[in-house]
Chain A
Amino acid sequence: MTGTVYTETTIYSPPEAFAGEAPYQLAMIHLDSGTRLTARIHGDPVRIGDRVALAEVRNSIHYFRKANLEVSHQHDPPRDRDRL
């Protein structure tokens, strides 16, 4: 499963359930299938437009990792592309 980072944030003030994991990066991924998914990021921090690939699914949470590909905006939805 691959996609493009639509937006992201790093959480320094986590909910109680994830208190031991902060800071951690959360991203909204625009999947190549066309849908969006809110997921966690493993490894290097990502920025909007970065290509990412699914690394693992643990406790129902999707973890993505930066893909070793050049940055592309081709998977941004048309509405966003029109605005840029």
Chain B
Amino acid sequence: MRPVAVVGTGKTPFGAFPERDLRSLAVESVHKCLENSGLTADQAEAFYLGNFAGPSFVGQNHLAPYIATEAGIRDVPCTRIEAACASSGSAFFHAWAAVAAGIYDIVLVAGVEKMTSQSTARVAEILAGAGDMAGEMAAGATFPALFAMIAKRHMYEFGTTREQLAQVAVKNHHHGAMNPMAHMRKEITVEKALAGKMICDPLTVFDCSLVSDGAACVALAAVDRARDFRAKPVRVLGIAQTSGPVALDQKESITTFEAVRRAGEKAYKMAGVAAADIQFAELHDCFTIAEILATEDLGFVPKGQGGPYAASGATALGGARPVNASGGLKSKGHPVGATGVAQICDVVEQLRGEAGERQIAGARLGLAQNLGGSGATAVVTILGLE
């Protein structure tokens, strides 16, 4: 297995863009990535696309060549990967694996989702397809309901409070307010979060991530080629994808995502680092409780301590280990198929020192965690400077 680096990034803003279609968003992210890396489209030896539900959201299938040819990428393998909200994290993993194995020297990985052209009820219905449609979803569950049940159990086992959940949202909105690419750039308060419209008890609308349009793209290259490119290369030091049951009620415990814990363990081992070494992270805060679980499952704090940890300020910019300096899915936005690659872009920006007023001083080692469904797919990536 040979070392691999990220040599370029490109993102569209995240938001609601009624005038933009799925392909134009994806192509914009690819072109920005080519520009950022100094690559030309014909240098890409393969194209991987993360997309959850283009066929349902916009009626288009066969998306990988549909996007690639429009972006100027021709004749090479173009493959779409679907793993719910971890679609582009998984696409990134498979692209990394192919370069690490020596099959390709240079590949492009993009993620895209166009969600806002559908009604909220229809969006919820499409997203529910990432759960067990014959089981919990048939009984009337939704993803907010599944994470609400996780939150209730976490509160019961560990004493986590609604205020601690709200503090995750307040922090991520604070970060996102400083991110020009974020969907919802506004500060909120704990009081406002607690008083928000109840979606599924105990989660209010402020505990839930956003329904967004957007795309992101990265270029990966074998490290011995990485210096040929314009941007400062960032090494993929450790990466793992793991899986578990799709149905939440089939998991032994719902207050741990075992797939995340295992992916973290494997990625730490590959990188030769410990959880304590990670300086900052982009974690999959599809709901506030999910960020709390991730900080525990990745070993930032012991199981059960994620709530007090979120409330301590340690995970805010200026704290000991900033989490979601981009604003996270909560404020930056969550075009589900784009999220995994966008997280990689955000970690890379920090490592290159390009994060503007959100820059973490001395950033050398960061982590991205992408989650599919209620823990059925997990991808953990550790990135660092050489």
Contact = CB atoms under 8 A, between A and B. Distances in A.
Interface of A: 6-19, 21, 24, 26-28, 36-40, 48-49, 60-62, 77, 79-80, 83-84
Interface of B: 121-122, 124-125, 128, 135-142, 144-145, 148-150, 152-153, 156-157, 197-202, 247-250, 252-254, 304
A13 B252 contact: no
B124 A15 contact: yes
Given A38-B135, A77-B252, A9 B140 contact: no
A27 B153 CA distance: 11
B149 A15 contact: no
Nearest to B142: A15
A9 B122 contact: no
Given A7-B149, A13-B124, A15-B142, 9 more contacts: A7-B153, A9-B152, A11-B141, A11-B144, A11-B145, A13-B197, A38-B247, A48-B152, A80-B157
Contacts of A10: 200-201
A9 B201 contact: yes
Contact of A60 (B138, B148, B253): B138
B203 to A, nearest CB: 8
Contacts of B252: 77, 79
A38 to B, nearest CB: 4
Contact of B140 (A11, A12, A28): A11
Contact of B125 (A8, A15, A39): A15
Contacts of A24: 140
